[in-house]
Amino acid sequence: MIFLEAKRAGKNSETILVNDHYRYIHDFLALLESSLRVNHTDDRVKIKTAAEFAELLNVHPNYLNSLVKGQTGKTLRDHIQERLAYEAKTC
């Protein structure tokens, strides 16, 4: 009986960990969208590096990079460069 409760507790903590991973990925993508959106030709990009994104999310850049790459298949740098290229084409 104790073993089952310990096993259940383990499942709960694993679920929380997955949710934290999702939150970091979601927050990065939302921050990427909002910080790289340029409405006017005079606007400047606010955040340019993976380290700056990680600092705003209070995580280490390597950790955030591994989470994002594990779920999307692309590094932080890939996401940033793609978004910058998109903004350059649309302005």
Band (pLDDT 50/70/90 cuts) for residue 80 is very high
End-to-end CA distance of the chain: 63
- What pLDDT band is residue 19 in, cutting at 50, 70 and 90? confident
- Of 36 and 45, more confident: 36
Quick check: pTM over 0.75?
no
User: pLDDT tens digits for 47-73?
Assistant: 789 999 999 999 999 999 999 999 999
Residue extents of the structural domains in the chain: 2-90
As to burial, measured by CB atoms within 10 angstroms (0-12 exposed, 13-18 middle, 19+ buried), residue 25 is: middle
